[in-house]
Amino acid sequence: MRTALAALLTLLAAPAAAAPGDLDPSFGTGGFARIPINGFATLATKALVQPDGNILIEAQAAIANAPDVAEIIRLLPNGAIDPSFGTNGVATFTVAGNYVDPADMQLQPDGRILLSGTVILAGQEHPPFHGVVARFTSSGSPDGSFGTGGEIFLTPLGGNAEDAATVTLVQPDGKILVADESFASAQEVLRFESDGSVDKRFGRNGIGATDLGQTTAAMGLQDDGKIVVIGQVAARLTAGGKIDFNKKPGTTIASTSVQALDGGPPLALQTNDQYILGTTTGPLQNDIELQRFSFRNARETSFRGPAIDFGHPTTKQNVSQDYAMIIQPDGGIVVTGRYLTAPHQAFGLARVLPNGALDKSFGKHGRLTTQCAGRECRASALALQPDAKIIAAGTAATATYQDSVLAVARYLGN
């Protein structure tokens, strides 16, 4: 009897086995890292995992008595800031006297880092503003060999006074695709050589026209060289930059999406000419619904998931909002954003199976929330490690937001 009782007590005292959606205790403090940066963090816009396991986070930062800047922060695999990168772990992109609004970040095959976004005249929230692409070396220094002094302003290439770079994609051959909103009064894709010079063989003098009426929020490259461009509908360009009217499906080999686009829904491109769109749903539009569309812009009714509520609350006054999503190699979809339980907010995360149903093996019935010190945090960017662990990046602050820092969590994926 005593032996059985002792065995039972030992079993009860043993820690629960790690499960998908649990915070990774080997990262930061208990799976969560708070990273002070230059100024205070206003938004994490992109997360990438480098081949060596280091983690890059692109963010917008507010500097006292100065315009906002774009920053790239590198973390070591354990969540600590990498002091060998940039200046004390941070590479900063500024344009004197102007605000910088980062949108996307990509790695080139040689390890150099591309940052794209918009430069806005200080004190203005309307034109003129201009798309820009900048490059940093793998160690976080401005790369003067790229474009002019390390940057490319897109307006002189044929745009107007209100173009804004949204999505950037690097081809396997090193060429760079940049989607530009309102470029020459339309949605356009520009292509550059790996050194930042215009690829004039693409489209018309380096500019490929699309017939999209919405801001480009995702791009993909097919195995035949064609380029998929998605706003809230999809279009496709040939490898040479012309509109492709052939509706035959293709296979996407690389894709990227803007993970925290202001005013736009989160998007993710699948490998088979399908894309996932996040929308609001529920009686008070407080929940999330994922919808899947074919390249022909037809909604697929076979993909019918439930409304997603990160916290599974008892009151519908709580709000779940998705700011980013990413597709796993097995077709599963990870969604992140904020879970608002007034007056506080937390990281929200959910995982959906390829058929649209919540993955009940993940978190609590497919969803979870993560609180942070200060109780004011939101996630706005996602990255997936080769070992299936999930990186969610965002901000954490007190109610004043004057001490907002970068917040990064890592979750077990399997």
What pTM does this model have?
Answer: 0.91
User: Model confidence at 126, in pLDDT bands (50, 70, 90)?
Assistant: low
Burial class (CB in 10 A: 0-12, 13-18, 19+), 314: exposed
Report which of 345, 393, 404 is spatially closest to residue 369, judged by C-alpha positions: 345
Using CA of residue 49, residue 52, residue 54, residue 59, what is the dihedral sign? negative
State mean pLDDT over 173-194.
Answer: 84
User: So what's the pLDDT on residue 335?
Assistant: 95
Quote the tokens at residue 137: 């070396």
Greater confidence (260 vs 78) lies with 78
User: Model confidence at 352, in pLDDT bands (50, 70, 90)?
Assistant: very high
H-helix or E-strand containing 179? Answer: strand 176-183
Report which of 29, 21, 26 is spatially closest to residue 78, judged by C-alpha positions: 26
User: Model confidence at 173, in pLDDT bands (50, 70, 90)?
Assistant: very high
Summarised one tens digit per residue, pLDDT across range 6-15 is 554 444 554 5
User: Model confidence at 184, in pLDDT bands (50, 70, 90)?
Assistant: low
Range of weakest confidence among 272-276, 334-338, 407-411:
272-276
CA distances for 52 relative to 85, 138, 205, 297, angstroms: 14, 12, 37, 38
Q: Which residues pair with 117 in a beta bridge?
A: 102, 132
State how far the Cα of 184 lies from the Cα of 159, in Å rounded to an integer. Answer: 5
State how far the Cα of 333 lies from the Cα of 235, in Å rounded to an integer. Answer: 22
Range of weakest confidence among 208-217, 258-267, 405-414:
258-267
Greater confidence (334 vs 210) lies with 334
Report which of 356, 242, 248 is spatially closest to residue 308, judged by C-alpha positions: 356
User: Model confidence at 180, in pLDDT bands (50, 70, 90)?
Assistant: confident
State how far the Cα of 52 lies from the Cα of 373, in Å rounded to an integer. Answer: 30
Residue 261 contacts by C-beta under 8 Å, 6 or more apart in sequence?
103, 166, 215, 217
Three-class SS of residue 324?
strand
User: So what's the pLDDT on residue 413?
Assistant: 95
State how far the Cα of 379 lies from the Cα of 386, in Å rounded to an integer. Answer: 21
Residue 178 contacts by C-beta under 8 Å, 6 or more apart in sequence?
116, 131, 133, 154, 165, 167, 168, 189, 190, 191, 192
Report which of 180, 187, 238 is spatially closest to residue 213, judged by C-alpha positions: 187
Highest mean pLDDT of the ranges 164-168, 213-217, 349-353: 349-353
User: So what's the pLDDT on residue 393?
Assistant: 96
State how far the Cα of 148 lies from the Cα of 130, in Å rounded to an integer. Answer: 15
User: So what's the pLDDT on residue 211?
Assistant: 66
User: So what's the pLDDT on residue 11?
Assistant: 46
H-helix or E-strand containing 277? Answer: strand 274-281
User: Model confidence at 213, in pLDDT bands (50, 70, 90)?
Assistant: low
State mean pLDDT over 269-283.
Answer: 85
State how far the Cα of 271 lies from the Cα of 254, in Å rounded to an integer. Answer: 8
User: So what's the pLDDT on residue 403?
Assistant: 82
Report which of 178, 177, 267 is spatially closest to residue 230, judged by C-alpha positions: 267
Range of weakest confidence among 134-143, 151-160, 301-310, 404-413:
151-160
Summarised one tens digit per residue, pLDDT across range 245-264 is 887 878 899 999 887 655 56
Torsion of CA 60, 338, 107, 270, to 10 degrees: -140
Summarised one tens digit per residue, pLDDT across range 26-40 is 999 999 999 988 888
Name the average pLDDT for the chain. Answer: 87
Report which of 225, 238, 116 is spatially closest to residue 175, judged by C-alpha positions: 225
State mean pLDDT over 374-381.
Answer: 86
Q: Is 42's pLDDT higher than 80? A: yes
